[in-house]
């Protein structure tokens, strides 16, 4: 039989300090994981937001520049139609070169399908109008159609700008929703981390308190004189060592208890042997076996006999007390007459008082009985 409850988890750190450190790490682990996840999520959100804003800003800047370039192309074409100046075609070529560079950069941006389609329409329309321009239209109707085409080109470029602005608005709304989703996730993590931390704290408390409770139970059993069962503490090495020392103490107490019982048996035997002879001798003197006794002698012999009987009862009480400690006899509460107790106490000292010329008188009122402890065999 082992004192203490077994714990399902057999592994313990080597020291109680290590056990406390492990408990702290277990309780802190959910919080650390939650904070790490929150930091990673926020970092990802910040990176995505920065990338989206940067791309949207470049697309918006390119779209505004596209509107300005198409407007400049339209202005040069209007001047060419009115002035019919060949030098204006060189200006157009320079503006068109910048237009192509800008549209190439825009096409490399991560545009959506609508924005990319409008951009391609702008490029195709400008190419078609340029082919009309280099043919140098002469008729008024052709010139009017050419100018109208560049006006439409400016409108298409403005549509690209409007689409870019709408894209920025969508990115802002998407970031807002992403931020709200991140906030909800963080709150959910916090709501899950708190009860988990509480459960871990309770489990760790039980984990730590179990070997201490085993030590406390072992000490209480030793204090109550219950030496049955081996003392074994499941826990860190230092607490196991204390459990082993308590078990050594239990075995030592058992050994001392056995030695005490053996001593009491020997001492009672050694006392009873001469006491029996003394009691039997006094009995023979009282019965007149050795010859008649004078009244004074008979009184002395009677005192000797009574004292021998009293001493025998004391030895028996001593043995009964030992059996009470070991549990073989039990104590019970019963009524006791106080007058008898006083009279017995006076009889114990009467002979010594008479020898010294002291007169003992008692005056005890009949006050009834009181409850006292008796030995029940």
For 279-314, what is each residue's pLDDT tens digit? 777 777 777 776 777 777 777 777 777 777 777 777
- Higher pLDDT among residues 368 and 18, named by residue: 18
Tokens of 12: 């313990």
> Reduced to 3 states, what is the DSSP secondary structure of residue 308?
helix
Residue 6: what pLDDT? 40
- Higher pLDDT among residues 17 and 143, named by residue: 143
Residue 172: what pLDDT? 75
- Higher pLDDT among residues 376 and 227, named by residue: 227
**How far apart (Å, rounded) are the C-alpha atoms in residues 347 and 64?**
128
Residue 13: what pLDDT? 64
Residue 257: what pLDDT? 80
Residue 252 has pLDDT above 60, yes or no: yes
- The share of the chain scoring above pLDDT 70, in percent, equals 86
> Reduced to 3 states, what is the DSSP secondary structure of residue 167?
helix
Q: How many CB atoms lie within 10 A of CB 135?
A: 10
Residue 170: what pLDDT? 76
Residue 367: what pLDDT? 58
Parallel/antiparallel/unpaired status of strands 330-337 and 369-376: antiparallel
**How far apart (Å, rounded) are the C-alpha atoms in residues 188 and 25?**
22
| Residues contacting 143, CB < 8 A, separation 6+ | 81, 137
Q: How far is CA 152 from CA 59, 136, 226, 334, in A?
A: 21, 20, 106, 122
pLDDT single digits (tens) 94-127 = 988 888 888 888 787 777 777 778 888 888 888 8
Q: Average of pLDDT values for 359-368?
A: 70
DSSP strand E in the chain: where?
A: 2-3, 230-231, 330-337, 369-376
Q: What is the mean pLDDT of the chain?
A: 76
Tokens of 123: 């490029």
Tokens of 10: 């057999």
Residue 23: what pLDDT? 72
**How far apart (Å, rounded) are the C-alpha atoms in residues 162 and 159?**
5
**How far apart (Å, rounded) are the C-alpha atoms in residues 242 and 219?**
11
- Higher pLDDT among residues 122 and 37, named by residue: 122
**How far apart (Å, rounded) are the C-alpha atoms in residues 24 and 201?**
9
Residue 5: what pLDDT? 38
- How would residue 3 be classed by pLDDT, with cut points 50, 70 and 90? very low
Residue 179 has pLDDT above 50, yes or no: yes
Q: Which of 161, 165, 155, 162 is nearest to 71 (CA)?
A: 155
- How would residue 351 be classed by pLDDT, with cut points 50, 70 and 90? low
Q: Find where tokens 């592994």 sit.
A: 11
């Amino acid at each position: 039989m082992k004192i203490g409850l077994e714990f399902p988890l057999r592994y313990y750190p080597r020291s109680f300090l290590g056990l406390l450190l492990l408990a702290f790490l277990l309780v802190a682990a959910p919080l650390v994981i939650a904070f790490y996840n929150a930091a990673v999520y926020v970092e990802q959100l910040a990176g995505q937001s920065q990338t989206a804003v940067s791309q949207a800003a470049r697309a918006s800047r390119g779209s505004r520049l596209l509107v300005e370039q198409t407007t400049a192309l339209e202005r040069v074409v209007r001047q060419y139609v009115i002035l019919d100046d060949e030098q204006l075609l060189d200006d157009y070529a320079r503006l068109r070169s910048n237009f192509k560079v800008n549209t190439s950069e825009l096409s490399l941006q991560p545009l959506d399908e609508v924005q990319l389609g409008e951009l391609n329409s702008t490029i195709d329309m400008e190419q078609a109008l340029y082919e009309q321009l280099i043919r140098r239209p002469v008729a008024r109707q052709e010139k009017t159609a050419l100018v109208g085409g560049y006006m439409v080109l400016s409108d298409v470029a403005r549509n690209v700008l409007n689409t870019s602005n709408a894209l920025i608005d969508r990115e802002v709304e998407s970031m807002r929703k992403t931020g709200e989703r991140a906030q909800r996730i963080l709150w959910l993590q916090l709501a899950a981390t708190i009860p988990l931390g509480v459960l871990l704290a309770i489990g760790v408390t039980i984990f730590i308190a179990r070997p201490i409770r085993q030590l406390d139970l072992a000490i209480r059993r030793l204090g109550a004189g219950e030496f049955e069962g081996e003392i074994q503490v499941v826990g860190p090495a230092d607490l196991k060592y204390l459990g082993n020392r308590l078990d050594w103490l239990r075995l030592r107490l058992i050994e001392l208890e056995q030695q005490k019982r053996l001593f009491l048996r020997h001492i009672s035997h050694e006392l009873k042997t001469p006491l029996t002879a003394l009691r039997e001798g006094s009995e023979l003197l009282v019965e007149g076996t050795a010859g008649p006794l004078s009244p004074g002698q008979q009184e002395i012999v009677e005192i000797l006999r009574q004292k021998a009987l009293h001493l025998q009862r004391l030895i028996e009480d001593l043995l009964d007390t030992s059996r009470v400690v070991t549990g073989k006899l039990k104590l019970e509460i019963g009524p006791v007459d106080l007058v008898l107790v006083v009279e017995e106490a006076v009889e114990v000292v009467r002979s010594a008082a008479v020898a010294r010329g002291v007169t003992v008188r008692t005056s005890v009122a009949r006050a009834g009985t009181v409850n006292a402890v008796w030995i029940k065999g």
